[in-house]
Chain A
Amino acid sequence: MTRPTVSAAGLTLSYRGTRAVDEVTLRLTEGVTGLLGPNGAGKTTLLRILATATVPDNGAFTVLGHDPSTVTGRQDARRVLGYLPQNPGFHPDFTAFEFVDYVAVLKELTDRRTRHAEARRVLDAVGLADVRGKRIRKLSGGMKQRVALAAALVGDPGFLVLDEPTVGLDPEQRMRFRELIAEAGEGRTVLLSTHQTEDVAMLCHRVVVMDQGRVRFDGTPAELTAVADGRVWRSAERQPGARAGWRTGTGEFRNVGDPPEGARLVEPTLEDGYLLALGGDPVAGVAA
């Protein structure tokens, strides 16, 4: 088995009496792991904990062998991780280069020549070499996301935490961003939070589904799809017994759940497996 780079056990964090993250246990390995879940599932909170941006009430975790529960451990962990938050903010009067250079200083790259070379490298990596002298306020939303990704990549971190990086991007930008994430996942551990099952299908070797603060599924995308084997069917009418159902372009309903006898079963998708993994008890394949 591949040695985990990030291990977490029993992570719990409550907001005003609600458990946003509830006894989450995870082991992440090299490659891109997708974190799927509805709004309010606790994804961002879990990512903030693993990025050391917030502190859990309970539980412990290590990042590439560093324990962030101590001051020095947290600093050491931060030296090996990159974090792209859900709504990254910038100093709008900085140029893309100046901002990434600033983040490089905050990542303790104090030698000017090394730092500038690193800023150029990461901006090149995200395809912003041509606009690195442009003020951030003048960049498009997709370009700003790429500046934030470049900032997260500074210092070549071994663990990259990406919180919904493709939200608000048009299809072309999303495609470009997926390529960047796939490249970033080579040789490092990437934890990618997303609402998009297509992101997971295209990028991830592993997927974790969260709902109501708990891990509902932990396995490969193929295993998540397999959760829906024999549980997706088409019908002419809405099926009241289905966990989820929606009208398709053909006018028929596609249903997910426990099919009635004689139902016209169809090939499941990752999204079907995801819908079945939400709510209720953890489904087969779950590791937590």
Chain B
Amino acid sequence: MRVRGRAAVVAALTRPTVRSLPWRLLAGGWALGVVVAAVPALFSLDLPAAALADVVRAAALCGAVGTAFALDDPARHTTGAVPVPRPLRQTLRVAVVGLAGAVWWAAVLGAVRAGADAASWGVLPAGALTVEAAALSGLALALAGAAVRFSAVRLPGPAVAAALPALPVAAAVFLPYEHALFVPPGDPRWADAHTLWAGILAVTLAVWAACGPEPRRRVRGAPGRGGGVPKRGGGRTRRAIARNLG
């Protein structure tokens, strides 16, 4: 059998990856997001920029709930011992979801714009809200990635999707006033809040990336992976290894 390079693997893997994604669940979250974004247009609501920002945030949260299913892989264990590494497989999944997600986000902004008057749309900071949406989806990926890395679960999506809406609520309730994440456009805290959002995006993507590689050493005490014993063998073990493996 000829072994080709990574590019050839990626090319061959793209189609089955697209086929293997849980599109119904992803699309469910995204469709709900578009419906939420279309509410002002559907009901001819004349909302101010602050309310429009909250509509966009609600749509972003729906999208993040859909993204929580991106790493669901019912065949995880059947394909658990293949040479193509997990980071490559996950990256390809996330890239495909990311591309589709970008189209979805454009649809969300388009739906909001259709229902907003020119003045409100003009002061709505779409770029900063896009960073918020990306951070929420990044959070979903980080949680799903951690679930895959630290447990044997095949479908982390349902648990992550269930937990995700609670996190922005908790942030709104527990974060101090000066570090609030959900601030209206034009608020003096806007710049600081979006520095924080950018930080969340960077950290969540870093966590997802760090959870990708399969471990060479077990994590002490990690859920479902036990731990709590010394990593190196005693003299008896080392002698046995030397004897048997030469």
Contact = CB atoms under 8 A, between A and B. Distances in A.
Given A14-B227, A89-B74, A107-B82, A55 B218 contact: yes
Given A78-B81, A78-B82, A108-B3, A91 B233 contact: no
Interface in B66-96: 73-85, 89
A23 B233 CA distance: 9
Given A79-B3, A90-B75, A91-B74, A105 B230 contact: no
Given A16-B226, A51-B80, A55-B218, A60 B12 contact: no
B244 A25 contact: yes
B78 A103 contact: yes
B84 A10 contact: no
Contact of B236 (A10, A16, A20, A52): A10
Interface string A83-112: 111011111111000110111011111111
Contact of B20 (A19, A78, A102): A102
Contacts of B230: 57-58
Contacts of A89: 73-78, 154
A284 interface: no
B231 A57 contact: yes
B127 interface: no
B82 A25 contact: no
Nearest to A152: B78
A62 B80 contact: no
Interface string B1-31: 1111000110111001001100000000000
Contact of A14 (B2, B226, B238, B243): B226
A186 to B, nearest CB: 19
A17 interface: yes
Given A20-B226, A55-B218, A110-B12, A12 B237 contact: yes
Contacts of A78: 81-83
B2 A60 contact: no
A53 B244 contact: no
A101 B17 CA distance: 12
Contacts of B84: 105-108
Interface residues of B, number: 50
Contacts, number: 172
Contact of B78 (A9, A75, A88, A93): A88
A7 B83 contact: no
Contacts of B81: 51-53, 78, 81-83, 161
A127 interface: no
Contacts of A23: 236-237, 240
B4 A106 contact: no
A57 B218 contact: yes
| Chain A interface extent, by class | 35 or more
Nearest to A89: B74
A101 B232 CA distance: 40
Given A14-B226, A52-B81, A78-B81, A108 B9 contact: yes
Contacts of A94: 16, 19-20
A259 interface: no
Contacts of B106: none
A3 to B, nearest CB: 12
Nearest to B78: A88
Contacts of A90: 74-75, 78
Given A25-B240, A54-B218, A82-B81, 5 more contacts: A75-B83, A81-B81, A89-B154, A151-B78, A155-B1
Interface of B: 1-4, 8-9, 11-13, 16, 19-20, 73-85, 89, 154, 214-218, 224-233, 236-238, 240-241, 243-245
Q: Which 10 A-B pairs have the closest CB atoms?
A: A15-B226, A10-B237, A9-B244, A106-B82, A110-B8, A83-B81, A102-B16, A110-B4, A58-B233, A89-B74
27 contacts: A12-B237, A14-B226, A14-B229, A16-B228, A25-B244, A48-B80, A51-B81, A53-B81, A55-B217, A58-B230, A59-B237, A84-B78, A85-B77, A87-B77, A89-B76, A89-B77, A92-B74, A94-B19, A102-B20, A102-B75, A102-B79, A106-B79, A106-B82, A106-B83, A107-B1, A107-B84, A110-B9
